[in-house]
């Protein structure tokens, strides 16, 4: 998911980055007005090459319980690599 262009100074991460994102509970079931913390981590393999010094990706949550209209919320993650 990428709702807009990349943040200034950052590049869009390549698709391989999807394999580096770990979501502890990828399909949580929540009642109306319920909230829950869910661990999301980026684990880059030791042999992987960084997409660049500054890159971004998006994590989205989609309500799939609705039949007519499905709501989707997304959060931008900005990654700045250390040397």
Q: pLDDT digit string (tens) for 22-45? A: 999 988 888 888 899 999 999 999
* Conformation bin of residue 18: beta by default, left when phi > 0, alpha when psi is -120 to 50: alpha
More confident call, 71 vs 33: 33
Whether residue 2 has pLDDT greater than 60 = no
Domain residue limits, the chain: 11-80
For the chain, give the percent of residues with pLDDT over 90. 55
* pTM of this structure: 0.76
Cβ neighbour number for residue 61 with a 10 Å cutoff: 15
């Amino acid at each position: 998911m990428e709702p807009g262009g990349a943040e200034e100074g950052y590049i869009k991460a390549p698709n391989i980055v999807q394999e580096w994102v770990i979501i502890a509970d990828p399909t949580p079931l929540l009642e109306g007005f319920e909230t829950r913390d869910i661990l999301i981590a980026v684990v880059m393999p030791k042999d992987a090459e960084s997409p660049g010094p500054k890159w971004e990706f998006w994590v989205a949550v989609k309500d799939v319980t609705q039949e007519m209209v499905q709501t989707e919320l997304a959060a931008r993650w900005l990654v700045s690599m250390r040397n």
